[in-house]
Amino acid sequence: MKNSSLKPGPLDGIRILDLTSVMMGPYCTQVLADMGADVIKIEAPAGDTSRGVPPFRDSGTGSQFRSMHRGKRGIVIDLQKPDGLTAFMDLVGTADVVVHSMRPQAVAKLGIAYADLVAANPSIICCNFLGFGRGGPYAGGAAYDDIIQACSGLVMLQDELLGEPNYIPTVLADKVTGLTGVYAILAALLHRDRTGEGQDVDVPMFETLTSFVLIEHLAGQGFEPPIGRPVYPRVVTPSRKPFRTADGYLAVLVYNDKQWRRFAELAGRPELIDDPRYATLTARSNNVLEWNGTVAEILATRTNQEWMQLLWAADIPAMRLNRTDDLFTDPHLAEVNFFQLVDDPVDGTMRFPKPPVQFSRTPGGFDRAGPLLGEHTVEILREAGIDESRITAMLANGSIAQPERPPRA
């Protein structure tokens, strides 16, 4: 069960069976586990491939996996064996949500499609992470983050900005889709709470990231007939980049009209306040290249420290540039205790980011790293009411597995 040393989270009492792998689905269930859900990570005997992403310590499982699955429990079940499938369906009877990232044809072949799950638990919610929505010509196709970044328009937006297509250097499609899965599951749980009805929920990567991209880039295509390209000019102009100062670089965005007036005053350039090219947000948007050039010219005249003091005092957004290394010594993150240390009996002390959302009454959180492969197999099956003789038989025939090393206390 969920470790009782934690204060309950808002999802305390919700059980989620997590059949996902790699990043998208596990990120979704990480958020749900942080909010107090009892998330059971179900793996095939070979384990989630992302266990092999380095660096490692003694467990042989990388820090990415151990962070992504913090607070979850782990069980190994071979769904291709009849006893394994039966044990899984026993667990479905105890669960609120099943989450998977397998293609529909694979789910149907295993016998764990929504219709199969409903037979074991009529109120079950099933969340299907898909590459592409059902029914279209891409349905059932293989999809990874790079592929979805490309077909959603995101990669070619980089071409508009940089002069060549490029991937965003984070797995954006996986993580945006994972977060979309979180709100879809929560909405389905709310509906079930009101009506008693479970349901089947599809969260397709392509449609999700395309919707995400078009929030600001819908532009002229928002009208019929269209009145312009689907591009938001401010964010794709080549001049949208950190500004050089007298001794380095700063991120600065002088966005609204009040900020522009203050900036012109700080610069000693009052004539810019009423300059028709820059006087309003609309004017600055229509003259974005020239506007950024003027800001760059001004920022080059003082040091980082001088500008940070002036801009913050004037409530104009500005920050120094952090490398990922710098995040671990950032004074703000230190002050808000953003990182949490966990004492793991196998890998020693580990450091993970805390949940960014804080609840005043139901904080939730985590107090352990992601599980070893099959670490809680026997514990979870006992909770489901499966007797010892059946567990012993399944261990013997390979339908389930537990780690060779003793599980943690």
Q: What is the DSSP letter of 165?
A: -
Burial of 46 (0-12, 13-18, 19+ CB in 10 A): exposed
DSSP string across 36-84: T-EEEEEE-TT--GGGGSSP--TTS--HHHHHHTTT-EEEEE-TTSHHH
Whether 347 is a known active-site residue: answer no
What CA–CA distance (Å, rounded) separates 202 from 204? Answer: 6
DSSP string across 175-229: HHHHHHHHHHHHHHHHHHHHHS---EEEEEHHHHHHHHHHHHH-GGGGSSS--S-
What CA–CA distance (Å, rounded) separates 30 from 39? Answer: 8
Tokens 């760059």 map to which residue? Answer: 296
What CA–CA distance (Å, rounded) separates 190 from 192? Answer: 5
Question: Pick the catalytic residue: 174, 193, 343, 347?
Answer: 174
349 φ, ψ to 5°?
-75, 130
Q: What is the CA radius of gyration of the chain?
A: 25
Tell me how far CA of residue 340 lies from CA of 19, 143, 260, 334, 337, in angstroms: 26, 33, 40, 10, 7
CA angle 243, 247, 250 (to 5 degrees): 30
Beta strands in 326-367 (DSSP E): 339-344, 348-353
What are the catalytic residues? Answer: 174
